[in-house]
Amino acid sequence: DAGVIQSPRHEVTEMGQEVTLRCKPISGHNSLFWYRQTMMRGLELLIYFNNNVPIDDSGMPEDRFSAKMPNASFSTLKIQPSEPRDSAVYFCASSLKGGTGELFFGEGSRLTVL
Amino acid sequence: DAKTTQPTSMDCAEGRAANLPCNHSTISGNEYVYWYRQIHSQGPQYIIHGLKNNETNEMASLIITEDRKSSTLILPHATLRDTAVYYCIVRVVGAGNMLTFGGGTRLMVKP
């Protein structure tokens, strides 16, 4: 099993640019989560999907952030326009809804906005 | 989900048991206790979970007090690779499976 795959692993961009982070969940998993981690705020849940449908996006910081899950094997998190305060590590995780509750995390995408 | 309280940091000698405490005094009857850890620069990793009985797997043991207000994660023979931040989380299984992470305990295993 390849695990949760995220890309890119590292992204450096300039303020105002659009950033797209990608995630491929584990095959067969029907829940997908996007988290953000910073030194100041720790790990924060941004949004999660069940069966490709967004269930709770209350953690999305503002309208500059958007997430989609067009099918069961792919999700994107987009920031437009990006700002320096968006610099963080973004993690994607997947799980089986109603299962043991174990989340499997990807290796993360480290974003730096200059 | 119930709030948890963990020490900010702990040290442990290599080869000794690491005992990481967690208080969850407001836990509800249908909430499980989960433990995850995050090794530097990696994504969080599931360790173990339990409801009220003690649990053991290849990574660790979980001891939950009878009143369920606290628990202890035990790494029986800590190695340098166990140096990580350990998160204790309580949540209802099946309720979306989302996890709310607190500050965790930073465990330093020393030679």
Distance from CA of A86 to the nearest CA of B (A): 18
At A102 the pLDDT is 87
Neighbours of A93 (CB within 10 A): 28
Higher pLDDT pick, B1 / A103: A103
Task: Report cis status (omega within 30 of 0) of the bond before A81.
Answer: yes
At A1 the pLDDT is 63
Please give the Cα distance from B53 to B41 (Å, whole number).
32
Q: How confident is the model at residue B65 (pLDDT cuts 50, 70, 90)?
A: very high
Q: How confident is the model at residue B49 (pLDDT cuts 50, 70, 90)?
A: very high
Cβ-based burial of A44 (10 A; exposed 0-12, middle 13-18, buried ≥19): middle
- Does A75 touch chain B if contact means CB atoms closer than 8 Å? no
Q: How confident is the model at residue A42 (pLDDT cuts 50, 70, 90)?
A: very high
Rg (C-alpha) for chain B, rounded Å, is 13
Please give the Cα distance from A46 to A105 (Å, whole number).
14
- Report whether A54 contacts B96 (CB < 8 A): no
Residue A51 per-residue DSSP state: T
Chain position carrying tokens 């997908």: A32
Neighbours of A59 (CB within 10 A): 17
At B96 the pLDDT is 66
Q: What is the mean pLDDT of residues A60-84?
A: 95
Q: Which of A26, A16, A21, A4 is nearest to A88 (CA)?
A: A21
Select the residue from A26, A40, A103, A107 to test the B interface by mutation, using most B Cβ atoms within 10 A: A103
Closest Cβ opposite residue A95 in set B97, B100, B103: B97
CB contact under 8 A, A97 and B103: no
- Does B91 touch chain A if contact means CB atoms closer than 8 Å? yes
User: What is the pLDDT of chain A when averaged over all its residues?
Assistant: 94
Q: What is the mean pLDDT of residues B31-38?
A: 94
How is B51-111 classified by DSSP, letter by letter? Answer: SSS-EE-SS-EEEE-TTSSEEEEEETT--GGG-EEEEEEEEETTSTT-------EEEEEE-
Residues 6+ positions from B28 with CB-CB distance below 8 Å: B2, B92
Q: How many CB pairs under 8 A join A and B?
A: 62
Closest Cβ opposite residue B32 in set A50, A101, A103: A101
Q: In the predicted model, is pLDDT for residue A33 greater than 90?
A: yes
CB contact under 8 A, B94 and A43: no
Q: How confident is the model at residue A98 (pLDDT cuts 50, 70, 90)?
A: low
Residue A99 per-residue DSSP state: S
- Does A30 touch chain B if contact means CB atoms closer than 8 Å? no
Residue of A nearest to B95 (CA): A98
